[in-house]
Amino acid sequence: MNRIAACFERLKEQGRQALIPYITAGDPAPGATVPTMHAMVEAGADIIELGIPFSDPMADGPTIQLACERSLKHGTRLLDVLDMVKTFREKDQETPVVLMGYLNPVEVLGYGAFAEQAAAAGVDGALIVDLPPEEAEGEFDQAMKANGLDIIYLLAPTTEESRIEQVCKAGSGYLYYVSVKGVTGSASLDVQAVADKLDVVRKYTNLPVGVGFGIKDAESAKAVSEVAEGVIVGSVLVNKIASLVQQQDEIPAQVSAIVAELRTAMDA
């Protein structure tokens, strides 16, 4: 069993939900990332989504766009992101790491090379925001499978039922439900609407579902944890990082303090 499946299995036995924080790799500088990953795990993170910085993050709001810009100022490349995961794995062989980003940096490396090197670095799966199952079919899909990597797909409020079935079939590891129509960091979510949609999703899959976009605080994290197997938070953490650009030593402690707060609320 791979790390992602094992993680959800263990949580299920414990009757708990996965807390899945997102940070952009190399934000605000390359040295900040691995210590922050470890600190988040200590504070109760179950899976880490690590963003691959991209110059044109079309599906993200200003928070993550600025994070990409801070990271790219240091020239963070996809290969550097893989190195960060490798370093993280020196101390943590258990916590799943999912890369999240846009296709072009992956395309430049080549799908086969990406999947091989990601697996070798200790990555468990990837969520490529602008790569829907239709376009992943074939080369990307095969490369990921051949290397034992999960492909995490998005579902959205606009995804129709016939398509939900198709996406559920294509995905593995878990599914990422985008709770609001909008970009990351936008409006807050309607938990009832999420619950209704997830009822439909569950008709087609036994995969765990993580819900992201619009989770801002302990209260919304708790509410989502009551309807989904995973709670994904990004912009609140990235905003915290942005506020600490001048005090980078503080980043692991202060970011993980938010993670701990969400964890406490979810487990209460």
Q: How far is CA 30 from CA 59, 87, 248, in A?
A: 23, 12, 11
Part of the chain binding another protein (CB under 8 A), chosen from 23-31, 125-133, 193-201, 222-230: 125-133
Q: What tokens does 160 get?
A: 């129709």
> Which residues have C-beta within 8 Å of that of residue 28, sequence separation ≥ 6?
67, 70, 71, 241, 242, 244, 245, 248, 251
Whether 60 sits among the annotated catalytic residues: the reply is: yes
In the list 156, 170, 195, 218, the residue contacting another protein (rule: CB under 8 A) is 156
In the list 6, 9, 42, 58, the residue contacting another protein (rule: CB under 8 A) is 58
- Pick the catalytic residue from 49, 124, 141, 229: 49
Helix residue ranges per DSSP H, 53-132 = 62-73, 78-91, 103-109, 111-121
78 counts as binding another protein under rule CB under 8 A: yes
Part of the chain binding another protein (CB under 8 A), chosen from 12-20, 151-159, 242-250, 257-265: 151-159
Helix residue ranges per DSSP H, 133-215 = 133-136, 139-146, 161-170, 191-202
Q: How many CA atoms lie within 13 A of 44 on its CB side?
A: 21
In the list 2, 5, 16, 61, the residue contacting another protein (rule: CB under 8 A) is 61
134 counts as binding another protein under rule CB under 8 A: yes
Contacts with another protein in 164-223 (CB under 8 A)? 167, 178, 181-183, 186
- Cβ 118 vs Cβ 64: under 8 Å: no
Considering the complex, state which of residue 97 and residue 109 has its C-beta at the smaller distance from another protein: 109
The alpha carbon torsion through 177, 262, 68, 131 (nearest 10 deg) reads -20
Active site residues: 49, 60
The residues of the shown chain that bind another protein, judged by CB under 8 A, are 54-59, 61-62, 65, 69, 72, 75, 77-79, 102-109, 129-132, 134-135, 153-160, 163, 167, 178, 181-183, 186
